[in-house]
Amino acid sequence: MAFNKKNNSTPPENTIEEKRQHPRYRRNFKIILNDTPFNGYDISLGGISFATEEPAPNISSGKIFSNVQISGAKGEPYKIDAIVISSYRKKNGHHFYGARIVNMPEHSLPMHEDLTLGKQDIENLLSDTCGTEKAPISVHLENRINTAIELLRKVYVYHLPPELLLVKEELYAPNPNLSRVEDLIKKSPETLAEFIKIAREAYPKKSIDQLMKVRTILNLIGLDNVFDLFCSAILVRQHNNSPLENAIMMHGMNAALAAAELSESVEGISRSEAYLGGLLQNIGAVFLSKIDPIGYKPIFLRSLSKPYAARKQELELFDTSHSEAGVVIAKNWGMIPEIYKGILLHHSRHITPEIKQTHSKICDMALLMMLSDFVACSAMGQTYVSEELKQSRDYALSHLTINQVDVKAAYTMVITTGHKAAKITRI
């Protein structure tokens, strides 16, 4: 429809204020974060910005502050539960920070308040991933998981959105309503586009023309695979808030591509499960990067060729690693045990025959993550193929029924359709 100039009038001021959750004041309010005062620059519906003359080292993108006090021009308080830092820029000698306002009603507390793994959860992790060796490593694992929980409470851990949970509920109903599933997937145009893209990548042998409509995708890949792919699409959209975070997710998507292709040779793991597992293996790294983006950048870049050396650096910097952080996040998101326990093991070189026999799918998922990480790294170029990375590949292949031909096919898939090295390392 053509633009109608008659409708381009400015609405009355009271109408504007009714639409705002918080009235706007420019450069005329104060904000206190954890007892430190800042000059407010702008506050409006859902967002806030503030400025300082000196940089604030404890404020970085992704951090959540629930101890927020804001007062307007006349001293009136604003009711704001929490803010999440979303941007930073320097201009004219001042440091400007942007933040997203987070409303936290009692029925939907932020996940950072709820993050937990109880003693029984940790005991189950030990039993299912360590077997008879659990006694000597139990204290180390418990300490690292508890450290990960404390660190994750300092940043904003997203809840999975309601539409994903509703899709899951509908898919597990006795008679799933395809129209409702389709409507939920199509609710966000951006997530819909990502879902279609991921479906085409995870199932490349399906006709491209057929994988352009949601209903056709549901029919072609089967309802059992829809949740994993839709979840992958949402996670890709949610975790794209900084160049470093984006780079980690792009590498994860390359690993997901490889895992989906490699899963054809692993009994009991579907392409969609493999894709989600490949994507999530480094989800802990995304959140460690939020905690200390400057310190984590060289660790991530090193992990692209030397995963074990990079993990050692994580332990030195955080007293935990992306494996333990990933377990906490994936478990609290309600992922299947094979995925979150696979995350814990995906850099382990101590998968015993006992564990492999009693928990074969967990071990296969972990080994599939390990091998897909090798493929994603090697696809970036021969300079990334270190002896350490080759050892990781050989260890995974020694426990899986995958041959070099399968690995080559996954490599070709990532080379042709994945994210390029220059894009991932441009951070």
Q: CA dist 167 to 185, 194, 218, 333, Å? A: 8, 16, 12, 15
What is the tens place of the pLDDT at every residue in 36-87?
788 887 776 567 888 888 878 778 777 777 667 777 666 666 667 678 888 8
Across the range 118-123, mean pLDDT stands at: 64
Q: What's the CA gap between 116 and 146, in Å, rounded?
A: 8
Nearest CA to 369 among 393, 335, 404?
A: 393
DSSP 3-state assignment of 29?
strand
- Run of H or E including 25: none
* DSSP H or E run through 213: none
pLDDT digits (tens, 9 = 90+) for 282-322: 999 999 998 888 899 999 999 999 999 999 999 999 999 99
- pLDDT of 7 reads 38
Q: Rounded to the nearest 10 degrees, what angle do helices 293-303 and 307-318 cross at? A: 160
pTM for this entry:
0.74
pLDDT digits (tens, 9 = 90+) for 332-380: 888 988 999 899 889 988 777 776 777 789 889 999 999 999 999 999 9
**Alpha helices per DSSP H over 153-268:** 162-171, 178-185, 189-202, 214-221, 226-238, 243-262
* Of 106 and 198, the one with more pLDDT: 198
pLDDT surpasses 90 at 251: yes
98 vs 257 pLDDT, higher one: 257
Residue 374: its pLDDT value, please?
Answer: 97
pLDDT tens-digit readout, 3-43: 233 333 343 444 333 334 444 444 567 788 767 788 887 77
- pLDDT at site 13: 41
The runs of H, that is alpha helices, within 99-188 are 111-114, 119-129, 134-152, 162-171, 178-185
Considering only residues 224 and 374, tell me which one the structure prediction assigns the higher pLDDT. 374
Contact assessment for residue 419 and residue 380, using Cβ atoms and an 8 Å cutoff = no
Contact 254, 376 (CB under 8 A): yes
Amino acid 125: pLDDT: 67
**Per-residue pLDDT, 386:** 96
pLDDT tens digits along 406-416: 999 999 999 99
Kindly tell me if the per-residue pLDDT of 272 is higher than 50.
Answer: yes
Tell whether the model's pLDDT for residue 327 goes beyond 80: yes
Model pLDDT, residue 143: 86
Instruction: Give Cα separations from 267 to 47, 72, 221, 401 (angstroms).
Output: 48, 61, 18, 9
pLDDT of 115 > 50? The answer is: yes
Q: What is the mean pLDDT of the chain?
A: 81
Identify the pLDDT of residue 42. Answer: 76
pLDDT at 9: 39
Residue 393 has pLDDT above 90, yes or no: yes
Which helix (H) or strand (E) segment holds residue 30: the answer is strand 26-33
Q: Strand, coil or helix: what is 63?
A: strand
Cα R_g (the chain), whole angstroms? 23
pLDDT band with cut points at 50, 70 and 90 for residue 218: confident
pLDDT above 50 (res 235)? yes
Higher pLDDT, 277 or 60: 277
Q: What is the CATH number of domain 123-158+239-424?
A: 1.10.3210.10
With H, G, I as helix, E, B as strand and everything else as coil, classify residue 155: strand
Q: What is the pLDDT of residue 121?
A: 67
Locate the domains of the chain by residue range. 13-104, 123-158+239-424
pLDDT at 119: 62
pLDDT, residue 221, reads 84
Q: How many residues does the chain have?
A: 427
Q: Which CATH superfamily is domain 13-104 in?
A: predicted glycosyltransferase like domains (2.40.10.220)
Structure confidence by residue, pLDDT tens digits, 149-196: 888 887 777 777 778 888 888 888 888 888 989 998 988 888 889 999
- Most confidently predicted of 204-208, 234-238, 390-394: 390-394
